Amino acid sequence: MSTYTSNNILNAVAAAAKTLDERKEEVNRLNVFPVPDGDTGTNMSLTIQSVVGNVANLAIGASAHEVRKAITTGALMGARGNSGVITSQILRGLCEGSQGYDVFDTASVSAAFAKAVEVAFQAVRKPVEGTILTVLRDAAAAARNAEEEGLSTEEALDAIVAEAYASVQRTPDLLPVLKEHGVVDAGGFGLAIIFDAFTAALLGRAGTMVDELSFGRASHPKVEIEQVNDWEGSQYRYCNEFLVDSDTLDREEALNFLSTMGDCELCVGDVPKFKVHVHSDHPDQVLAYFLERGQVSEVFIHNMQMQSVERTEKLAAEEEAQRKPLGFVAVAAGEGNAAILKSLGVDVVVSGGQTMNPSTKDLLDAIGSVNADAVIVLPNNSNIIMAANSAAELAEVSCAVVPTKSVPQAFSALFSVDQDASLETNVEEMAEAAAAVKTGEVTWATRDSKDAEGNPIVEGDVIGIADGSIEAVDDSIDGAVLKLLAKMDAEGADTCTLLAGEGYGDEDLEALVTEIEAVYEDLEVDAQRGEQPLYPIVFSVE
């Protein structure tokens, strides 16, 4: 088992601070309400940088107690905004929970996270699910499970990071406003970055998991700027935050007072140092209350309405600056297919496909929402090509259609894109790449019929369709796929991409891949979750 010194841990904290500083704009862009107090990435970064600065002032050979105090004090002093204050309490809880442990191991990590949950949730009077607190709690559960399962420290840290990112991905399902705007929680994402970067540095890894799971790199949502922020919205004008030195301040009494002054109220810390945060239209009354009970310092009062206007102008300027020469609209059914298309550069995915053909207006609206000088449409179904052509003719920007008839054809077409080439050249190259792809689709017959060779098909049979022609009939999905592959000359192909539809399990998919590889030893099989309806398997061979 590896042994980690205080110096190892502090260096990892510094590395996490550096990484978050580099990623803070990605986190900021996830804010649903882009006002100053909602600059989550910046606020969290400033908070943890304050920790690093405070720790740097420690004498060589400082005790564990001195290190913990430096971390908690630095976090409290540097906390900015709700997200920064909550981050400071998470760090405080981690430090308090690790007391009594002589080594940094799975047990001490689990205890630290358990205490962090307790402290952070106590700091927020009305915790909301789908926020940084949810991500913290889920990460703590992973730490507890790691201890119960007897995992090593390294395995425990990896499990915590993985669960933190998984929790971030779930936040839109818990907080409707996130789902409405198509983003994950910014604070939760920032916290996952901290855990990830800390773990990578401590374990001596060159890269972090965030490079693969960076939610902030997705297309940025266009949100209406409102004079609200944080988790539940605010109707007040001023964001007030400051430090209070007091030997007599009653924290619960102070919170009760703050609740009468505004919202998003926080009062954290212990005698003699406290951090106060509240949104209020009466900063004079807020300050007067605390001046009667101690000394006030580090006062920051932001007019959120004025700064919201500035933020709106900044976002508009950034959006204009980010205009691309070429954008893409694609049609697809299934969350998995949509995610893959976006990862390949598609700006807007219109939901649709077989039996769900989008209208010309749907496609026209999608084209209009792309911030690009020219747009290429990938209809991905023969029944949608005509509507796509009509939309392209009506579009206000230069627009063309690459007549893809399936999602796999779109994948191949997107791989051939050259952003420096003209619209016409790209259309030609993409169409050529798509035409080289053979697509197979497996589904169930909805009525009695005949296949391409005149053989009978009974309602309920599993049928395999190759580029529009029914070429295989079987009583199982796997059997139909294998028959279809043979008809599509898979023996001479290099790659096969499988897209599993909704209801087709991962175990079934793994078994199908094994069967295909056993028959076609030289065929490279890439299996993905497409989640398309009606078709348990869609695949391509090239």
Residue 516 in contact with residue 482, Cβ under 8 Å? yes
From the candidate CATH numbers 3.30.70, 3.40.50, 2.60.40, 1.10.3430, the one assigned to the domain spanning 238-307: 3.30.70
Q: How would you label 265-296 residue by residue, b for 16+ Cβ within 10 Å and e otherwise?
A: bbbbbeeebbbbbbbbebbeebbebbeebbeb
- Residue owning tokens 């399902």: 173
Judge if 6-217 and 238-307 fold alike in CATH terms: no
Tens digits of per-residue pLDDT, 282-293?
999 999 999 999
What is residue 36's predicted lDDT score, i.e. its pLDDT? 41
The span from the CA of 504 to the CA of 537, in Å, is: 8
- Closest among 9, 35, 18 to 315, alpha carbons compared: 35
What is residue 209's predicted lDDT score, i.e. its pLDDT? 63
What is residue 286's predicted lDDT score, i.e. its pLDDT? 94
What is residue 317's predicted lDDT score, i.e. its pLDDT? 65
> Would you place residue 217 in the very low, low, confident or very high pLDDT band (cuts 50, 70, 90)?
very low
Compute φ and ψ for 381, nearest 5 degrees: -165, 135
DSSP state letters, 171-212? HHHH-HHHHHHT---HHHHHHHHHHHHHHHHHTT-SS-GGGT
What is residue 205's predicted lDDT score, i.e. its pLDDT? 83
Cα angle 351, 357, 363; round to 5 = 65
Which own/partner contact pairs does 204-209 have at CB distance under 8 Å and 24+ positions apart? Answer: 208/19, 209/161, 209/162, 209/165
**Among residues of the chain, what percentage have pLDDT more than 70?**
90
Compute φ and ψ for 358, nearest 5 degrees: -70, 155
Beta bridge partners of 375: 327, 399
- Provide mean pLDDT across the span 112-120: 95
Rounded to the nearest integer, the mean pLDDT of the chain is 87
Q: Does domain 6-217 have CATH number 1.25.40.340?
A: yes
Task: Decide if pLDDT at 233 tops 70.
Answer: no
Tens digits of per-residue pLDDT, 71-82?
999 988 888 878
The span from the CA of 531 to the CA of 500, in Å, is: 6
Sign of CA dihedral 126, 129, 130, 131: positive
Task: Decide if pLDDT at 199 tops 80.
Answer: yes
Q: Write down the domain spans for the chain.
A: 6-217, 238-307, 323-435, 438-541
E strand or H helix at 116 = helix 106-123
Instruction: Look at residue 115 and give its three-state secondary structure.
Output: helix
- Provide mean pLDDT across the span 467-480: 91
Q: Higher pLDDT residue, 222 or 41?
A: 41
What is residue 221's predicted lDDT score, i.e. its pLDDT? 35
What is residue 382's predicted lDDT score, i.e. its pLDDT? 86
Least confident segment among 172-186, 208-222, 300-314? 208-222
> Would you place residue 323 in the very low, low, confident or very high pLDDT band (cuts 50, 70, 90)?
confident
Least confident segment among 231-240, 443-452, 462-471, 487-496? 231-240
From the candidate CATH numbers 3.40.50.300, 2.40.37.10, 3.40.50.510, 3.40.50.2300, the one assigned to the domain spanning 323-435: 3.40.50.510
What is residue 528's predicted lDDT score, i.e. its pLDDT? 95
Residues 6+ apart with CB under 8 A from 455: 473
What is residue 316's predicted lDDT score, i.e. its pLDDT? 66
What is residue 150's predicted lDDT score, i.e. its pLDDT? 95
- Provide mean pLDDT across the span 42-53: 91
Tens digits of per-residue pLDDT, 359-380?
888 899 999 999 899 999 999 9
Whether pTM > 0.75 for this model: the answer is no
CATH number of 438-541: 3.30.1180
Q: Higher pLDDT residue, 117 or 357?
A: 117
